[in-house]
Amino acid sequence: MEVIVTKNREEMSKRAAALIAEEIKRKPNALLALSTGSSPIGTYQELIRLHREEGLDFSKVRALNMDEYVGLNRTHPQGYYYFMEHSLYQEVNIDKANTFGPQAAEGNPKEEARRFDEKIEREGGIDLILLGIGRDGHIAFNMPAERLYFATHVQELSETAIQDNARFFDNVDQVPTKAMTIGIEHIFKSRKVILIAGGKNKSGIMERFINSGALDTGIPATVLRLHPDIKVILDEDAASDLQGKKG
C-alpha cells in the first residue's frame, strides 16, 4: 500500500485527479467507480479543469456510482446520482448513457442489486475506484459489522454515518436510514484503488486503518490492505495521527 501525504486538500485532490487522468489516457473507455461525499469534490473540479484546459477526453469513459440512498431516485438533489451528475458528468464530455449506479428507489432491492453487479461484470469490471472513507472506516456504504457482504446489498446506516451525512440535508430526520451499496467483491476486484482522506476528522480512522495489523470487519477499509495496487492519498491533517509518514 502506497501512502502519499500531501500538503493540503487541494494537493490531495490534484494528486488523485492526475492518477484518474492518467488512467483515462491509458484506457479511454476505462470503467471508473466514483465516490460521493465531500472528499472527492476537489478531485472532480480538477478533472473538469483538465477537461476544459487540457482536453482530457471523457467521451468513451464509463462511470458508475457505488451507492445510493434507498428511497431517493436519480433526480433527488441529495441522491448520489444527482451529486455525480452535478459535480462532474454535466461539466465534461461524458456520455450519460455510459454512467450508471444502483437504482435503490426502484423495484425489488435484491433484483436491483443483482442487476447492478451483473452490469459491472458485463462491463468487464472496474478499472479504477476512487474511494473516500467514513470516520468509522466504512467504504462506499459497507459499514462496520461482523460480516462484510461480497455482493451489492441494502445496508442499514450507522448512527455516525447518518449524523455525518446530515449536513447535506435540511435536518437529520431527512437522512435515509438505508442505502444500497456495492459490496466488497467489486471494490476489491477493481484493478486500481485510490483512497482519499482530508481533514482532521479523518486522522483517527486513518491511523487505525494504516496501522491495523489485521483484517478487521469493524473497519471495512482494512480489506484494502491486501489490494495489490492501492494508493492512499491524505492531506497533512488526515495524516496527523500517523508517525513518520509526513513529508
Q: How far is the CB of 40 from ligand GLP (least distance, A)?
A: 7
Q: How far is the CB of 236 from ligand GLP (least distance, A)?
A: 17
- Residues forming contacts to ligand GLP in the complex (CB under 6 A) are 35-39, 67, 132-134, 140-141, 161, 165
Concatenating the DSSP letter of every residue in 92-148 gives TT--GGGEE---TTSS-HHHHHHHHHHHHHHTT--SEEEE---TT--BTTB-S-S--
Q: Which is nearer to ligand GLP, 116 or 141 (CB)?
A: 141
Q: Identify the bridge partners of residue 31 per DSSP, sorted by sequence position.
A: 62
Q: How far is the CB of 157 from ligand GLP (least distance, A)?
A: 8
Write the burial class of residue 217 (CB in 10 Å: 0-12 exposed, 13-18 middle, 19+ buried): middle
Q: Which is nearer to ligand GLP, 37 or 204 (CB)?
A: 37
Q: How far is the CB of 36 from ligand GLP (least distance, A)?
A: 5
CA distance linking residue 238 with residue 52, whole number of Å: 30
The DSSP symbol for 10 reads: H
How is residue 197 written as a grid cell?
A: 482522506
Q: How far is the CB of 37 from ligand GLP (least distance, A)?
A: 3
Helix axis angle, 41-54 to 9-26, nearest 10°: 50
Q: Which is nearer to ligand GLP, 56 or 140 (CB)?
A: 140
Q: Which is nearer to ligand GLP, 92 or 221 (CB)?
A: 221
Q: Which is nearer to ligand GLP, 59 or 172 (CB)?
A: 172
